[in-house]
Amino acid sequence: MEFKGAMGGLYRLTEWISRIAFSNILWALCSIPFLFMAVMKMIMLGSGAGGPNEQITLNWTLGILAPFTVFPATAALFTVVRKWVMGNTDVSTFRTFFQGYKENYFKSMLGGLIYTVLFVVMYVDVTVYMTQMANFKIVGILMLVLMIILFVSMFNFFSIVVHYQMTFKEVVTNSVLLTIARPIRVFSTLIGAAVLVYIGLRYPVLYAICIPTLIAMFAFFNFYATYNKLQLQVEKKKQEELEAQEAAEREAAERLMNDDDEDDDEDMDDVNDADKEPKRI
């Protein structure tokens, strides 16, 4: 039964709310170990409980858990929002989520390991250069910029993992290259994500309902717009190459025809000259 008017709009709104909330719950359930430790760390920071050793232990635990929990869950979430952004909104959220979770687990886990190690190394470098080596603050700033670029490239990493059939090396390479080649589009994703995170900080309940899913939707929307633009450029280039090839073939055919006509004219001239010669008796 299809509703029209205000009732139809309300029905579609509640349908989207339920989709987003359900996919968000699935993501949270698959990320429970990491989220639990993250909440514990926030509570300890807010209350001042625990010493440096406890904080270091929590950091190590978060770093170990992230590649095996958050990264595969996020890849599965991107699998769902990819369908929505591409216009296929009637798919089963549950089935699509766990299908993406299963298919992309290995690549997303490997990506999580690499990203986690790089983040840890860069974080340590930034901390050391910015706080303990005043003469090398410029290096710390450079590492901070690289750290931001690495973080932003994760949006492209998840989008490429779920959208293309590539090897893991190609996924990582293209995610970084796309981040560098399209900085405005990618950093608009970062700004949008930051706005959603800020709203979530003001209203924490939204994290459980929609914030991660909305960030994934916005990130893939920007990626898909970039993808379509690149596809148009590739098709335009192919069309120009095809037109240039056709023009060259036509020019070659015309030149060949002109050469044949000149040969025929020369043959006719030879025949006429032969007819004009006097016959010998």
CA gap 16, 76 in Å, rounded? 18
Within 31-92, residue ranges assigned H as helices are 32-47, 52-65, 70-85
Quickly state the pLDDT bin for 281 (edges 50, 70, 90).
very low
Q: Which of 107-116, 228-237, 249-258 has the highest mean pLDDT?
A: 107-116
SS3 167: coil
Are the C-beta atoms of residues 76 and 100 closer than 8 Å to each other? yes
- Give the model's pLDDT for residue 123: 84
Provide mean pLDDT across the span 272-278. 53
Dump pLDDT digits (tens) for 142-166: 888 888 888 888 999 999 999 988 8
Q: Residues of the chain with pLDDT > 70: what percent?
A: 88
| pLDDT given for residue 265 in this prediction | 56
- State the chain's mean pLDDT as an integer: 83
Beta carbons of 175 and 156 less than 8 angstroms apart: yes
Among residues 110, 194, 186, the alpha carbon closest in space to that of 155 is found at: 186
Average pLDDT over residues 245-251: 81
CA dihedral (131, 136, 138, 139) positive or negative: negative
pLDDT tens-digit readout, 196-230:
999 988 888 888 889 999 999 999 999 888 888 87
Q: What percent of the chain has pLDDT over 90?
A: 31
30: tokens are 């698959």
Q: What is the pLDDT at residue 71? A: 95
Residue 53 has pLDDT above 90, yes or no: no
Q: Which of 26-30, 73-77, 113-117, 263-267 is least confident?
A: 263-267
Quick one: tokens of 146? Answer: 């690289």
Residue 129 reports pLDDT greater than 90: no
Q: What DSSP state is assigned to residue 86?
A: T
Identify the weakest region by mean pLDDT among 44-53, 98-107, 197-206, 264-273: 264-273
pLDDT at 260: 63
Task: Please give the Cα distance from 224 to 163 (Å, whole number).
Answer: 9
Token digits of residue 52: 């440096």
Give the Cα separation of 242 and 63 in Å (integer).
51
pLDDT (0 to 100) of residue 5:
63
Spatial separation of the C-alpha atoms in residues 185 and 225, rounded to whole Å? 9
- The region of weakest confidence among 182-191, 217-226, 239-248, 264-273 is 264-273
Q: From CA 228, how far away is CA 159, in angstroms rounded?
A: 13
Question: How big is the CA angle at 28 (ends 27 and 31), to the nearest 5 degrees?
Answer: 90
Check whether 273 has a pLDDT greater than 60.
no
Q: Rounded CA gap, 85 and 165, in Å?
A: 19
For residue 121 the two structure tokens come to 């190394």
- Indicate the burial class of 222 (C-beta count within 10 angstroms; 0-12, 13-18, 19 or more): buried
Segment 58-87 shows an average pLDDT of 92
How far is it, in rounded angstroms, from Cα 68 to Cα 105? 8
> Sign of the C-alpha dihedral, residues 71, 77, 81, 82?
positive
- Residue 20 has a pLDDT of 93
pLDDT in tens, 18-36: 999 999 999 999 999 999 9
Out of 2-11, 70-79, 174-183, give the one with best mean pLDDT. Answer: 70-79
The CA distance from 177 to 186, in Å, is 11
Q: At 132, which amino acid appears? A: Q
